[in-house]
Structure 1
Amino acid sequence: MSNPVYLALDLPQLDAAKALAEQVRAHIGGIKLGLEFFCAHGHHGVHEIAHLGLPIFLDLKLHDIPNTVAGAMQAIHVLEPAIVTVHASGGRAMMEDAKAAAANGTRVVAVTMLTSMDDRDLMQTGVAGKAHDQVLRLAELAQTAGLDGIVCSGHEVGSVHRQWKDGFFVVPGLRMGNNGTGDQKRVVTPRQARDDGASVLVVGRPISRADDPAAAARAIEATL
């Protein structure tokens, strides 16, 4: 992958989303469309963004019984996504069915633990221990289920990469050194994540909320 940066394009207005993507398209490798975008614009919105000619990452974080998730996967075949997410906490059977139902050429990756959560948040969900250990456990489960890879923070990607040599690793929650973290808790820079084994770097606000999004995307690209 020549440019691993995927822009998180979660804007409520389709015209604004298309305009932003056009501004930065020369400095990114793909576009991530999440729940906010998909719920607002559906299949039509995905098709409109796909006209830009960049790979589409559908970050839907599917999490339901295996049959329902498989049906959802089949329903998005027509969108030809390069990457789709499911939640690893849905279990092995769910992940196996998700992968089996995915279109040829679509990577299915499992979200391990949201980058907005830390050890304390994890404990409040009833899971004792460190976020790092939970990510490694869920990564092993995703690998056993036959998925292509996982989503994790930059704090864990190095350890997961050592455990899963040929895995495909998506790292969100990235910030440049001079950016605030916002609602993210486990953050690193794009360069650090890439050095530690990240396959895809998801960048949102540092680009989308910059005074000059194209310049911000270009600056991130230059660090890689």
Structure 2
Amino acid sequence: MTMSARDRLIVGLDLPTVAEAEKIVSTLGDSVDFYKIGYQLAFAGGLEFARDLAASGRKVFLDMKLLDIDNTVAKGVENIAKMGVSMLTLHAYPKAMKAAVEAARGSGLCLLGVTVLTSMDEQDVIDAGYEYDPHTLVLRRAEQARAAGMGGIVCSAEEAAAVRKIIGTDMALVTPGIRPAGADKGDQKRVMTPADALRAGSSHLVVARPVVQAAEPLTAARAILAEMESALSG
């Protein structure tokens, strides 16, 4: 099935309160169907909000970036699968991914392996103790995620084309750090426009600040969707 721009756009509810998140969801209305909930909102009532969103028919990407011993990851994934959310992130460590895949089997939950955070550049990766540059580390983890049976990958759009060659066409490729032309990069270091990210092979784009911090969030979201539709039809 061909996905529309609306299927592919994930608006990140990176907000301090559920009330503010509810306001954004209400403002965006039927224009946006998919939302990301991460740490900030999760620890302010966002997990219950995620359940409510999923129950209302919205798709939810729960960005928890799980990493722990195998049993703890598995038990966490089992409960998250019961929440009705569509996507869940965990760090792309082979043992954690294998445990998560087994725990999610049969649930329909799409597990995403986080490769290298888009806020990290080569020096950041070196400082973290890795022997690989970001690009090499992303590709290595993409291979491991495919081998583990994960549903998809999270990486910078800069690596999307190379990752797509490794994971094939069936796995989701979710790219944060998306910034419309002229937008402030904020703390992101490896960013790309929506159109370029789709052309590079991304299946889903995560956009937070350019929408939720816009003076007119609905106008901002519609502009991004229009850019995505143009890229998809071009």
TM-score band, normalised by the shorter chain?
over 0.9
Q: Deviations over 1:165-189 (max 9, x none)?
A: 1221000011011111000000001
Give the TM-score of the pair, scaled to structure 1. Answer: 0.95
Matched, 1:215 2:219: yes
Give the Cα–Cα distance (whole angstroms) in 2 for the partners of residues 133 and 58 of structure 1. 26
Matches within 5 A, 1:129-140: 129-140=132-143
> 2:48, 2:95 → 1: CA distance?
31
Equivalent residue number for residue 146 of structure 2: 143
Correspondence for 1:202 among 180, 183, 206:
206
Q: How does 1:12-91 map to 2 (within 5 A)?
A: 12-88=16-92, 91=93
Partner of 1:40, secondary structure, is helix
Residue equivalent to 2:231:
none
Counterpart secondary structure, 1:155 = helix
**SS of match in other structure, 2:117:** coil
1:5: how far off? 0.5
CA distance in 2, matches of 1:183, 1:153: 14
Cα distance in 2 for residues equivalent to 1:20 and 1:74 = 29
Contact in 1 for aligned 2:50/2:85 (Cα 8 Å):
no
Q: 1:41 Cα shift? A: 0.7
Q: In the alignment, does 2:147 pair up with 1:161?
A: no
Structure 2 length-normalised TM: 0.91
Does 2:98 correspond to 1:96? yes
Deviations for 1:5-45, whole angstroms, at most 9, x for unmatched residues? Answer: 00001212111111101111322240011111111115322
Note the aligned Cα RMSD (angstroms).
1.3
Q: Deviations over 1:58-101 (max 9, x none)?
A: 1110011111000101122331111000001xx32211110111
The runs of 5 or more residues in structure 2 that have no matched partner are: 229-234
Equivalent of 1:180 in 157, 160, 184: 184
Aligned-pair CA distance for 1:49: 2.9
Identity between Structure 1 and Structure 2 (%): 39
TM superposition outliers: structure 1 runs of 4+ over 4 Å: none
Post-superposition shift, 1:53?
2.4
For 1:94, the aligned partner's letter is A
- Give distance in 1, aligned partners of 2:227 and 2:33: 14
8 Å Cα contact 1:136-1:160 kept in structure 2: yes
Alignment-mate amino acid for residue 164 of structure 1: I
Number of residue pairs the alignment of both structures matches = 222
Match of 2:114 in 1: 111
